[in-house]
Structure 1
Amino acid sequence: MGGGRRKKQHFGRIHAFSCGKASFNGEHSRIGGPGFSRVVYCNDPDCLEATAHSYESNYVRTTKYRLATFLPKALFEQFRRVANIYFLICAILSFTPLSPYSAVSNVVPLVVVIGVTMGKEAVEDWRRKRQDIEMNNRKVRVHHGDGVFEYTKWRDLKVGDIVKVEKDEYFPADLILLSSSYDEALCYVETTNLDGETNLKLKQALEATSNLHEDSSFDNFKGVIRCEDPNANLYSFVGSLEIEEQPYPLTPQQLLLRDSKLRNTDFVYGVVIFTGHDTKVMQNSTAPPSKRSKVEKRMDKIIYFLFFLLVLMSFVGATVFGVTTRKDLENGRMIRWYLRPDDTTVYYDPTKAPVAAILQFLTAIMLYSYLLIPYPCMYQ
């Protein structure tokens, strides 16, 4: 039963049905063309024509990662940081004989810092997942035939379903208002979650559907809605509702958006036209951002400068080392005999001074890494 239907109030003469009327002109003439091709079979979401369209489900996901993509995406996020790339290179080089210190002392701090940061990312994304689960498992009354409305999870809604939303409940998808508990078929909507406005918006159904006051009224109700394709514009809507081959124009006055709330109205009936990520609120949403603040980007510039100094120091040191090494066996004489240049490896070989200089350069790059160590820790 519909129950609780409000009688016409004294302000009924102010809100005439002209509020919900429109004419077929302007953009309404484009219905059926490009950008206006959506077709909704009201109260018959499982018919052959409806299933052929394969519209989005009403399941909404706002998480940044999936189980299979967490590791590669999280690692990518970490190594977007300049300092982390540098320390990764040093960690790889620390496993070679070039390293002036043990690999453990270089690898463990890098793994700990990156591991803790990735763990924080995982916790934040899990919280998003929990919010998604809570939202997708909310319930709303949906018509299942014979005038019977049963509670159904939001995620199971389909385009074309008739739903009954009660006072102070959120709309589970984008709906076209069919009727309400008021004789004038109007309702009041709070859109704070959409546009931040606290004042209530007045919506009103078409006169053609305003007499659908009870649950049983939808036993034989059929209609076809033709409207615009999903888009992000919250304040416009173009469509038409065809009942018994008679078309009626639809405007934003009949559009109820997901995440807005029903206020000061006992209940409304509506038909689902956009679900899931096709809804206007999701069309306006953005993916969880990569957390790179202005401070961090500024720090990257400092890292670039420090890295330039590090390379310059290493280059100068390696050049001096190469020149000095070449002179150690001048005319067969050992100038620095205590270094035994006649019995040495390629890392200190007077006959291969250029190679020795390059290897010394790589060693210096690792050795002077302490010039950069404080900075990655500041913004992890």
Structure 2
Amino acid sequence: MAKEALEDWRRFMQDIKVNSRKVNFHKEEGVFDYKSWKKLQVGDVVKVEKDQFFPADLLLLSSSYEDGICYVETMNLDGETNLKVKRALEVTLPLDEDASFKNFTGKIKCEDPNPSLYTFIGNFEYDHEIYALDPSQILLRDSKLRNTAFVYGVVIFTGHDSKVMQNATKSPSKRSRIERKMDYIIYVLFSLLLVISLVSSIGFAVKTKFDMPDWWYLQPQNTDDYYDPRKPVLSGVTHLITALMLYGYLIPISLYVSIEMVKVLQATFINQDIQMYDEETGNPAQARTSNLNEELGQVDTILSDKTGTLTCNQMDFLKCSIAGTAYGMSSSEVELAAAQQMASDLEDQDVERSTDFRQKGKQQEIELETVVISEDEMVHKSPIKGFSFEDSRVMEGNWLNEPNANVIMLFFRILAICHTAVPELNEETGSYTYESESPDEAAFLVAAREFGFEFCKRTQSSVFVRERYSASGQTIERWGYQCTMSVC
């Protein structure tokens, strides 16, 4: 109980800290000032800058981009680190600076507060026109603005009316069943102690009032308050306190101490368990807490929503097939591990073979070692995250010499165009890095960049790709690729 109370107190202090953050809001006459989150009201116009959290549920009015789009990270809402694209209404795109809100007025009619994160129904009345609203214009509290310099938004829901607070639930108890069972036993024993003490004190009060003058060897008129027949209630209360102290041994307080000592010993056994030692990494089992030791033996099934939960969730571009021709000589980690396991099995089977076979094996080992060293040198030369492709037929513009060069060029263009990623220019290297909804898209874009098709800019209707290789041998920049549903 003390742990849960401490956790509630920490959560309360964290809420106070979060709600004391400052946000830039429209004060009056096109002037913006700072105000804490807890003082925001419905209808306030706020300006949120890059890498800041949204203080409330907002209606997106405009952004630093001309087409009114912005990119939002909703990791605190759904656990996803990918970026979501939000778009403002075309009618509010001119509201892209502080002074434009000097005479801004509008009316929003929307649904009541509800916990649905992916639905929104409402209308926005502006300039005597009514525009329908949908979730693509809503910026939810606790999500973060990414890859966008700033956005303007109007507050729709605040505080406990926001969707994230509507979804907030009390954190479940992490106490083990043994601890909860011990609490139940203590409650029962304490209730029994109260009943015994009350019965004893009531009997003592009755005995003092009616039978004390007949058998008490001292004179009742000269006795103290504890045995005064004229004050039986006071005598009963004092006897209740005495009974609680005398019968207090009924509650086994040492039970908690004994259980904790057992858990500490269990944690020691876990740390010294040789069957839980990982020989490859040299790491033994470490019991960092002893609260849930007794629950470990009852785990029979582990469920996961997707493979990224249990892996590093990293994608590498290794191979591709273009017009029926396979390109790429690298092997994945799974293939390497499988080959290593097969080699280990063959080595166990061939222990008693002849000397000739052993010599051949040594020659194979020498050749393998040579190949490994050359691969390590190549890795140290140009390590590129997400790109482990090796094939001289298509690298460094050599694909222009292939018989199906037009098909290969179309393949690379598709890699650079059909996606939802956001480019970020790295000023140090001069190349672009990509923020995407999935690591697959990022790996495709890195591969397209290394093949000579670098995605560098996006608008709502087109994408810009810089092509390094062309028939003339010069670097050209193409634009106007319209990414429609029929194409992408």
Q: Normalising by structure 2, what TM-score?
A: 0.40
String of CA shifts for 1:181-217, please: whole Å, max 9, x gaps.
Answer: 1122111111111111111111111111123222222
State the match for 2:25 in structure 1.
142
In structure 2, give the amino acid aligned to 1:369.
G
Tell me: CA distance 1:291–1:341, structure 2 relative to 1, closer, same or farther (3 Å). Answer: farther
String of CA shifts for 1:103-136, please: whole Å, max 9, x gaps.
Answer: xxxxxxxxxxxxxx59x947962x4444333222
Partner secondary structure for residue 133 of structure 1: helix
State the match for 1:261 in structure 2.
144
1-structure distance, mates of 2:243, 2:14: 50
Partner secondary structure for residue 213 of structure 1: coil
Report the CA distance between 1:308 and its aligned residue: 9.9
1:173 corresponds to which of 50, 56, 60 = 56
Any gaps of 5 or more consecutive residues in structure 2?
A: 198-214, 221-238, 261-488
Tell me: CA distance 1:369–1:187, structure 2 relative to 1, closer, same or farther (3 Å). Answer: same
1:161 corresponds to which of 44, 47, 51 = 44
Partner secondary structure for residue 123 of structure 2: strand
Report the CA distance between 1:373 and its aligned residue: 2.8
String of CA shifts for 1:145-166, please: whole Å, max 9, x gaps.
Answer: 3222222222222111111111
Is the contact between residue 174 and residue 273 of structure 1 (CA under 8 Å) also seen in structure 2? Answer: yes
Tell me: CA distance 1:375–1:278, structure 2 relative to 1, closer, same or farther (3 Å). Answer: farther
Partner secondary structure for residue 140 of structure 1: strand
Is the contact between residue 168 and residue 261 of structure 1 (CA under 8 Å) also seen in structure 2? Answer: yes
Report the CA distance between 1:169 and its aligned residue: 0.5
What is the correspondence of 1:321-340 to structure 2 with a 5 Å cutoff?
Answer: none
What is the correspondence of 1:73-88 to structure 2 with a 5 Å cutoff?
Answer: none
Q: Does the alignment pair 1:205 with 2:88?
A: yes
Q: Does the alignment pair 1:372 with 2:251?
A: yes
Partner secondary structure for residue 144 of structure 1: strand
Tell me: CA distance 1:222–1:369, structure 2 relative to 1, closer, same or farther (3 Å). Answer: same
2-structure distance, mates of 1:365, 1:276: 47
Report the CA distance between 1:275 and its aligned residue: 1.0
Tell me: CA distance 1:220–1:363, structure 2 relative to 1, closer, same or farther (3 Å). Answer: closer
Tell me: CA distance 1:368–1:133, structure 2 relative to 1, closer, same or farther (3 Å). Answer: closer
State the match for 1:55 in structure 2.
none
2-structure distance, mates of 1:361, 1:220: 74
Report the CA distance between 1:279 and its aligned residue: 0.9
Report the CA distance between 1:232 and its aligned residue: 1.3
Partner secondary structure for residue 225 of structure 1: strand
In structure 2, give the amino acid aligned to 1:243.
Y
Q: Does the alignment pair 1:244 with 2:127?
A: yes
State the match for 1:132 in structure 2.
15
Report the CA distance between 1:263 and its aligned residue: 0.3
State the match for 2:279 in structure 1.
none
2-structure distance, mates of 1:209, 1:147: 16
What is the correspondence of 1:111-130 to structure 2 with a 5 Å cutoff?
Answer: 117=2, 121=5, 125=9, 127-130=10-13
1-structure distance, mates of 2:131, 2:192: 72
2:109 corresponds to which of 226, 230, 241 = 226
State the match for 2:291 in structure 1.
none
Any gaps of 5 or more consecutive residues in structure 1?
A: 1-80, 82-116, 315-339, 346-359
How many residue pairs end up in the alignment?
A: 243
What is the correspondence of 1:309-320 to structure 2 with a 5 Å cutoff?
Answer: none
Partner secondary structure for residue 156 of structure 2: strand
State the match for 2:154 in structure 1.
271
Which structure would you say has the larger RCO, counting Cα contacts within 8 Å and 6 or more residues apart?
Answer: 1
State the match for 1:335 in structure 2.
none
What is the correspondence of 1:31-110 to structure 2 with a 5 Å cutoff?
Answer: none
State the match for 1:77 in structure 2.
none
Q: Does the alignment pair 1:282 with 2:161?
A: no
Is the contact between residue 190 and residue 200 of structure 1 (CA under 8 Å) also seen in structure 2? Answer: yes
1-structure distance, mates of 2:7, 2:187: 31
1:300 corresponds to which of 183, 194, 202 = 183
Partner secondary structure for residue 41 of structure 2: coil
Larger radius of gyration: 2
Is the contact between residue 158 and residue 275 of structure 1 (CA under 8 Å) also seen in structure 2? Answer: yes
Is the contact between residue 303 and residue 375 of structure 1 (CA under 8 Å) also seen in structure 2? Answer: no
Question: Quick one: percent identity of the two aligned structures?
Answer: 58
2-structure distance, mates of 1:163, 1:291: 39
